Amino acid sequence: MSDSSYTPPEVWTWDSASGGKFASINRPVAGATHDKELPVGNHPFQLYSLATPNGVKVTVMFEELLAAGHDAEYDAWLIDIGEGEQFGSGFVEVNPNSKIPAMVDHTGNTPLRVFESGSILMHLAEKFGAFLPTSGPGRTETLNWLMWQMGSAPFLGGGFGHFYAYAPEKLQYPIDRFAMEAKRQLDVLDRQLAERPYIAGNDYSIADMAIWPWYGQLCLGRLYDAATFLDVESYTYVMHWANKIDARPAVQRGRMVNRKFGAPHMQLHERHSPEDFDTQTQDKIGETA
């Protein structure tokens, strides 16, 4: 089908055969498709996720909190969105929108659900008083950039990434449209990082943790195999920042959690203790199985 051959019907209906790579898990209605309770581990924080960019935000936050000495131990359970596990009844109770990541905080008298990655980052930052100023211009600037990420990344992921990497056909108009927007966003970041070491100022914050899994990993060649296409090397300050964040040990650990793709030594399907990074990655399980 070419760009010019489609005429929208008077009333749209869903045709799963036209859904491309994700047709089996996409649908135009919400709610659970099957009954499945979520597992609950021993730690106060229960995370249900997958190591997509949105999932990596939260596991990086947890690992950074732990590295900074906070009592932020957590259990991370893998939700395989390719298999539709986000539509299980237990997950839908935690996140009615059926998107990862989702978390339950058991530190209070009543379990508290927290969904949307930005909300989880804010919740943890405020609970531990870390990676987000408590007041003043620094707090506002950090939240400015957190919200920038939440509003901008859909154009990168659902827009550029979908049409460039996942759509059933390569169509020039949507690829050009969203490539233009992705490059504009990279230029926004490049101009910001030309004047400061981190996204929101002099300090590493939840703004960096939110933006790096999308734009940092894009520039490091880990998203959509599009680094050359988007000429990411031309964004000098973004590249420097992307490599600086990538070198942080907590970020390296966070990338591994709930990961079900890539090199086996980088895949830690579930995380229940710090020792799991040494004993439970897929290469280690394979060696001892």
The 10s digit of each residue's pLDDT in 169-179 is 999 999 999 99
Task: Give the distance, in angstroms, between the CA of residue 231 and the centroid of all CA atoms in the same chain.
Answer: 23
Q: Which residue has the higher pLDDT, 176 or 20?
A: 176
* Mean pLDDT value across the chain: 95
In the chain, what are the helix, strand and coil shares in percent, each to the nearest 5? Answer: 50, 10, 40
242, 213 in Cβ contact below 8 A? no
Please tell me the total count of domains within the chain.
Answer: 1
140-152 pLDDT tens trace: 999 999 999 999 9
Helix or strand or coil: residue 211? helix
Structural domain including 211 reads 136-249
Q: Quick one: pLDDT band at residue 1, thresholds 50, 70, 90?
A: very low
pTM of the model: 0.95
- N-term to C-term CA, the chain: 48
Beta strands 45-49; 74-78: pairing state: parallel
Q: What is the DSSP letter of 34?
A: B
pLDDT digits (tens, 9 = 90+) for 24-81: 778 899 999 999 999 999 999 999 999 999 999 999 999 999 999 999 999 999 999 9
Q: How far apart are CA 152 and CA 135, in angstroms?
A: 25
Q: For residue 40, is it within any domain?
A: no
Cβ pair 170, 180 in contact under 8 A: no
For residue 208, being part of any structural domain is answered with yes
Phi, psi angles (nearest 5°) of residue 219:
-70, -25
In a domain, 221, yes or no: yes
What number of other Cβ atoms are within 10 A of residue 217's Cβ? 19
In a domain, 110, yes or no: no
Q: Running DSSP on this structure, what letter comes out for residue 83?
A: G
pLDDT for position 19 = 63
pLDDT > 70 in the chain, percent: 95
- The encoded tokens of residue 136 equal 């003043």
Q: Give domain status of residue 239, yes or no.
A: yes
The pLDDT of residue 5 is 80
Which ranges of 5-76 would DSSP assign to H, the alpha helix?
A: 53-67
204: in domain = yes
CB 173 within 8 A of CB 3: yes
The residues, any chain, with a CB within 8 Å of residue 60's CB and separated by 6 or more, are: 209, 212, 213, 250, 251, 254, 255
In a domain, 166, yes or no: yes
- Residue 157 sits in a domain whose CATH number is 1.20.1050.10
Any domain includes 93: no
